């Protein structure tokens, strides 16, 4: 698969602003572990190979255990995730796959039970950010691993 074009070059101003939004979301009240889990899960749902690759490498660099990464696709059946992580993953799926009726009251109640208002808003911003990156990467066929050196992802030892 060959990349189609480089949106960071073609639309540098907008790309830069979206990157600033994502960077701000990454510095929110959501810790790095949860942030990584959310990014990986949304990217899996969206089928974004570039982002799955990137965020698994980032999570590995930040010390995430490989088994937990492998279990993300089956998190409901896995006992490797905390109540907060499970609520965030359920919220991530609901916001990523917005159905005809939006996010259910049950899903909102589950996330509200373990997160405060700031955290719910912040995790939603993280979900919004990664969903946008997934769409950009898929549309322009970003090649998995192609940014490893630029982002220091070769430190993960997964290339």
Express each pLDDT in 61-117 by its tens digit: 999 999 999 999 999 999 999 999 999 999 999 999 998 899 999 999 999 999 999
Predicted local confidence at residue 159, as pLDDT: 74
Contacts of 144 (CB under 8 A, 6+ apart): 49, 50, 52, 53, 54
pLDDT digits (tens, 9 = 90+) for 2-47: 878 999 999 999 999 999 999 999 999 999 999 999 999 999 999 9
Q: What is the DSSP letter of 99?
A: B
Please state, in angstroms and rounded to a whole number, the distance separating the CA atoms of residues 77 and 144: 28
- Cα(47)–Cα(5) distance, integer angstroms: 19
* H/E stretch holding 9: helix 7-10
Domain locations along the chain: 31-156
pLDDT digit string (tens) for 35-69?
999 999 999 999 999 999 999 999 999 999 999 99
pLDDT at position 3: 73
* CATH class of the domain at 31-156: mainly alpha
Helix pair 83-96, 117-139: axis angle to 10 deg = 50
* pLDDT greater than 80 at residue 1: no
Q: What local confidence, expressed as pLDDT, does residue 139 receive? A: 96
* C-alpha angle 74-87-121 in degrees, rounded to nearest 5: 130
Which pLDDT belongs to residue 16? 96
pLDDT of 147 reads 87
Q: How many CB atoms lie within 10 A of CB 67?
A: 9
Residues 123-153: pLDDT tens digits?
A: 999 999 999 999 999 999 998 988 888 888 8
Q: How far apart are CA 19 and CA 46, in angstroms?
A: 19
């Amino acid at each position: 698969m060959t990349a189609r074009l480089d949106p960071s070059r073609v639309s540098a101003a907008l790309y830069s602003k979206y990157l600033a939004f994502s960077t701000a979301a990454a510095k929110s009240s959501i810790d790095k572990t949860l942030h990584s889990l959310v990014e990986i899960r949304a990217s899996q749902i969206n089928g974004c190979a570039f982002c799955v690759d990137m965020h698994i490498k980032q999570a590995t660099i930040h010390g995430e255990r490989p088994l937990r990464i492998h279990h993300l696709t089956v998190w409901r059946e896995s006992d490797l995730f905390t109540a907060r992580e499970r609520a965030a993953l359920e919220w991530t799926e609901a916001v990523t796959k917005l159905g005809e009726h939006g996010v259910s009251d049950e899903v909102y109640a589950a996330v509200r039970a373990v997160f405060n208002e700031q955290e719910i808003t912040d995790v939603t911003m993280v979900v919004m950010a990664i969903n946008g990156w997934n769409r950009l990467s898929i549309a322009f066929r970003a090649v998995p691993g192609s940014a490893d050196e630029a982002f220091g992802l070769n430190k993960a030892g997964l290339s």
